[in-house]
Structure 1
Amino acid sequence: MNETPKSEFDPNPPRRNFYGRRHGKTLRHSQKGYLAEDLGELRPRGITAQENPERETIYPARIFGDDRAVWLEVGFGGGEHMVHMAATYPDIGIIGCEPFINGVAMLLGKIRAAGVQNVSVHPGDARDLMDVLPDASLDRAFLMYPDPWPKARHHRRRFVTPEHLLPLARIMRPGAEFRVATDIPDYVRQTLEQVPLAGFDLVSETPQPWADWISTRYEQKALREGRSPHYVTFRRQG
């Protein structure tokens, strides 16, 4: 009988408030295998407080081995968009952050299937990665269908708040692009209000996706339920 692979997944310690799920349905045998066999090589070292108690700077060249341009996807969900981007732009390094372990396992399966090699996976809070990246080190960032936190009292948990946006602005180069996709009108409102305050200029807000877009399961669900997607593009001020 085959033994179930053991995962070395270790979420970030609770050094700050975290809202949302880290675990969902029981993982399939294959998904446990992806976590045990693949995550170790793809996970950037020195991100967690346990590995880097002094919070020393982690340069992207240390992650990818060269000085290529680097993009960040915050909350990659099931990984469709991240893998599509990695395959479309093989010379770019893409770091994905996702604390939900089921999503991490799904992404790892897609990475295997696509054979992309220009990716790095942080299975934890994006804030911990942003803490240790150097100033002006990212060329693009994506926030694709983030958790909407629809209740008014939970809006401060959204990514589009100063707690997240100011660190993101710090690590993005002048002129770097920040893309946001959501089907929640109030999330669009808060995005348009808060992102410019963090040092970004609005480029566009449109119902039409970007030319290199791939439809994700979250977008497809929104369309089935009659919600209209919004695609918002910002540029980091120089």
Structure 2
Amino acid sequence: MTDTKHPSGAPWRNFYGRFKGKTLRPSQKDYLDTDLDALSPGPVSWEDNPERTKLDTTALFEGRPLWLEIGFGGGEHLVHQALQNPGVGIIGCEPFINGVAMLLGKIREAGVKNLRVFPGDARDMFDVLPSGSVEKAFLLYPDPWPKKRHHRRRFVTPEHLDPLFDCLAPGAEFRVATDIPDYVRQTLIEVPKAGFEWRAEGPADWRAPWADWISTRYEQKALREGRTPHYMTFRKPA
């Protein structure tokens, strides 16, 4: 839907996930109160940026390449990538505030300086990222929405993929990991339709994790329950 419904002028966007779970621990509340504002990538929400002015991503990370993680869960992978790649800047988007609090604790413990955190819907981030500004993006174990009538809620739909494609630089890599076979099927249909190229040349390219991969708690749960992870690599054509 494109009709504006909010006083800010924001388009109506249905959000079907959770914003908050169990009660936060005092330490997690402290992370949110003390650290979150300093890690903001800039004005992203409609309330803070109703004109949808683009972020100055070059200034944000002092000219370093920009990466993006969409739905970082508890933040294990995000912090791992930041530690392994100090020469890049990474923005993580996550609307689930408990996950945001977990990430902030990991950032404080690890002492990483090349991360920024947006506690909201990735679609709002897409609005304000300049075209062609992101050189790598991650979508790792997204909400599977297993019921067929809910498949339109999945990330791998044009509502999300089209603006993501615009934000990515030519030649940029887009990684998707999931343990849900039907999500794999939908990904392999919808992501190429959005303009991406699938980089697999053989079964090992989707069965084996990436060389710089760190297994997350979501993947460990999938393995315990007998599900098989798939690791799909796409590329925006150069």
TM-score interval, normalised by the smaller of the two chains? over 0.9
Matched to 2:33, the amino acid is A
What residue in structure 2 maps to residue 219 of structure 1?
219
What residue in structure 2 maps to residue 5 of structure 1?
none
Provide the C-alpha distance between the structure 2 equivalents of 1:99 and 1:61, rounded to a whole number of angstroms: 25
> How far off its partner does 1:14 sit?
8.0
Provide the C-alpha distance between the structure 2 equivalents of 1:74 and 1:122, rounded to a whole number of angstroms: 10
Q: CA RMSD in A?
A: 1.1
Provide the C-alpha distance between the structure 1 equivalents of 2:218 and 2:236, rounded to a whole number of angstroms: 27
What residue in structure 1 maps to residue 117 of structure 2?
121
Q: Does 1:56 align with 2:53?
A: yes
Distance 1:77 1:14, change over 3 A: farther
Runs of 4+ in 1 over 4 A off after TM superposition: none
Aligned residues: percent identity? Answer: 67
What residue in structure 1 maps to residue 5 of structure 2?
none
Taking structure 1 as the reference length, the TM-score comes to: 0.92
- Secondary structure of the 1:206 match is helix
What residue in structure 2 maps to residue 231 of structure 1?
231
1:121-171: CA deviation from partner (whole Å, max 9, x where unpaired): 000000000011111000000000000000001101100000000000001
Provide the C-alpha distance between the structure 1 equivalents of 2:79 and 2:164, rounded to a whole number of angstroms: 22
Q: Which structure 2 residues correspond to residues 57-76 of structure 1 after superposition, within 5 A?
A: 57-64=54-61, 66-76=62-72
Matched to 1:20, the amino acid is G
Taking structure 2 as the reference length, the TM-score comes to: 0.92
Matched to 1:186, the amino acid is D
Q: Does 1:36 align with 2:26?
A: no
Matched to 1:59, the amino acid is D
> How far off its partner does 1:59 sit?
2.3
Provide the C-alpha distance between the structure 2 equivalents of 1:90 and 1:209, rounded to a whole number of angstroms: 22
Provide the C-alpha distance between the structure 2 equivalents of 1:111 and 1:134, rounded to a whole number of angstroms: 26
Q: Which structure 2 residues correspond to residues 145-156 of structure 1 after superposition, within 5 A?
A: 145-156=141-152
Which residue of the other structure, out of 78, 81, 85, is the alignment partner of 1:82? 78
> How far off its partner does 1:207 sit?
1.3
Provide the C-alpha distance between the structure 2 equivalents of 1:45 and 1:174, rounded to a whole number of angstroms: 24
Q: Which structure 2 residues correspond to residues 125-204 of structure 1 after superposition, within 5 A?
A: 125-204=121-200
Matched to 1:99, the amino acid is P
